[in-house]
Structure 1
Amino acid sequence: MNSPSYSSWENVQSVGCSISLTPPIVMLTVNDYLDGLHCLHEAQKVNATTEEIISKLRLYLEDKVGGQQILNTILTLIKREKVIDFSNNKEFNYCTSLLPLFMIMSDSSTSIPISIKYGSTTYHMHLDNQADLPKSEQFNMIANHIHIPSDRLKLIYRGKRFTKDNWHDLPLISNMNFLSIGEQNEDETDIDTKDIECIMHQMKIDRNTAIKALKLYPNMSLIDIRENLSLFDDAFSIHRQIPEFQIDSTTAKQLIERINNAKHPLILVAYIDDRPVGYLMGHERYSSFYIWLVGVHPKHRRQGILVQLMNRLEQWAMKENYSSLLVKTRNSFKSMLLFLISHEFKLIDMDKRQSVGTHRLILEKKLIIPQQSSSI
């Protein structure tokens, strides 16, 4: 076979112009192309991986000829027009063996296959890799595919961490495998968006936490929580209807005297349609905030009311610079014990009584007080 003559640049340029949808080559010469193959040949000598070879070729060509569009032109010339013929070249064997790498890169010009592992699940996707696509948008595509917000997503590749801030530093090649770190978005299927946003606003929590709460308590009611010592009568009206407190003979007068004489007292009452359905009373004790009485009307339990009361209490306590919450409950109140333990309360002591069921268990929850920034 006769090798085409490359004595003048016009030969290559004229072929480039004859191809439809392919822009003329204005910077690349055949020698540049051969130099690129030589660069790959040197990479093979040191046992570079296929990924490293492709990455090296991409960097060389994009630096040499100025972009992905020119690279596509080169590939078109090779595959369709056979402009470059190595049949009489001493490097024919390794040059032709490298041509499949160009084919891989050609397929990668618009999308590349990658894998992302999250926990025990591996996600596969074809990532849009067009030259004019912003890298930030490309990172968002990955985040959306694996359901992790882009601002919380970290991708690990060969020991290096990539976020939306440094994603542009990573040369992408086919079949890259990433390890992902970040909290996935909760599935919002069958949950009303308005309910999520309302819970977020009322409980001052993020979207994921609100969705988890609505899943845990599917009948969660959207309530109004009020804070005032003058709400004692409403709180006591609920207290009298709590079955667990029927054995307590404490009168309203005794309760109000104690709350009025306590240090830093607090009364919270939860309302649905202006009707009191839950309450919490407490005061300072041993430098912690002590939850003295708390309850929800039996007809309104398992609606997330206690969760919202406790969340409101935590916000208040942290604002008042309390580092922990204390609560004492009977050993026989299993539902309350399970609730407290599931909300990070730890058993720290026990007040033994005549029977096991009447033992008082003392639990504590540590609070993380946000540090206030100081101006210098």
Structure 2
Amino acid sequence: MVQYRHYWGMPEQQIFEGILALHHEVFMNADHLRAKLSIVPNALVLVASQKEEVVGYKIGYELTKDRYYSWYGAVSEEYRRRGIASELMKKQHQLIAEAGYTILETKTRNKWRNMLIANIKHGFDIVATFQDDEGIHRITMEKRLVHEDIQ
């Protein structure tokens, strides 16, 4: 049975090491995650675990007093298509709405189509597209948090 936990700030070391391992498996830049997570304001880390193994996570941080950024999220290959990413997303939206944020922002790439579709299903709108410093097309999405997000 998958269990969900959240941490405002850095999680305990064993959990964080599990997040880094999964992050490296999916994104290949765990050092970037480690460095930036320690300096972003009001970081929220959500973790899905099976027994003691991290099988999914979702991380975000404050951009302004009313705007929150949903930064990274991943689910281990063998645990995909079980609703874990959706559950992590719902919990993130609920917790940041309860904390008083009214706008949630995220960015994605066209190659992450499952994430793009999940964001749309969970109420995000595409608000812009741009080419980043590496020449990669990116999609900016926003969601206005409303009362039903905190139920």
- TM-score if structure 1 supplies the norm length? 0.36
Q: Deviations over 1:82-137 (max 9, x none)?
A: xxxxxxxxxxxxxxxxxxxxxxxxxxxxxxxxxxxxxxxxxxxxxxxxxxxxxxxx
**Native 8 Å contact 1:235 1:280 kept in 2:** no
Q: Which structure has the higher relative contact order (CA within 8 Å, separation 6+)?
A: 2
Of 65, 78, 81, the residue aligned with 1:302 is 81
Please tell me whether residue 321 in structure 1 is matched to residue 100 in structure 2: yes
1:282 corresponds to which residue? 60
Measured after TM superposition, the shift of residue 344 of structure 1 is: 1.2
Alignment of 1:28-107 (within 5 A): none
Q: 1:303 deviation in Å?
A: 0.3
1:239 equivalent to 2:23? Answer yes
Q: Which residue of 1 is the match for residue 144 of structure 2?
A: 366
CA distance in 2, matches of 1:292, 1:343: 16
Q: In 2 relative to 1, CA 256–349 (structure 1 residues): closer, same or farther, beyond 3 Å?
A: same
- How many angstroms apart in 1 are the aligned matches of 2:121 and 2:59? 21
- Report the 3-state secondary structure (helix = DSSP H, G, I; strand = E; otherwise coil) of the residue aligned with 1:264: coil
332 and 232 in structure 1: CA distance in 2 versus 1, 3 angstrom threshold: same
Q: Distance in 2 between matches of 1:318 and 1:333?
A: 26
Contact 2:23 2:30 in 1 (8 A): no
Q: Distance in 1 between matches of 2:45 and 2:89?
A: 12
- Aligned-residue CA RMSD (Å): 1.8
Structure 1: 5+ residue stretches without partners: 1-221, 371-376
Task: Select the structure of larger CA radius of gyration.
Answer: 1
Structure with the bigger percentage of helix: 1
1:11-44 superposed Cα distances (whole Å, 9 cap, x missing partner): xxxxxxxxxxxxxxxxxxxxxxxxxxxxxxxxxx
Whether the 8 Å contact between 2:20 and 2:34 is mirrored in structure 1 is no
Shift >6 Å, 4+ stretches: none
Q: How many residues align?
A: 141
Aligned residue identity for 2:23: H
Q: Which structure has the highest strand share of the two?
A: 2
TM-score normalised by L of structure 2: 0.84
Amino acid at match of 2:57: Y
SS of aligned partner of 2:25 = coil
Unaligned runs of 5+ in 2: none
Return the alpha-carbon distance in structure 1 between the equivalents of residues 55 and 117 of structure 2.
Answer: 21
Task: Output the CA distance in 1 between the equivalents of 2:79 and 2:57.
Answer: 12
Shift of 1:251: 4.1
Q: Which amino acid aligns with 2:107?
A: K
For the residues of structure 2 that align with 1:266 and 1:338, how far apart are their CA atoms? 23
Determine the structure 1 residue equivalent to 2:128: 349
Assess if the C-alpha contact under 8 Å between 1:232 and 1:267 holds in 2. Answer: no
Corresponding position of 1:331: 110
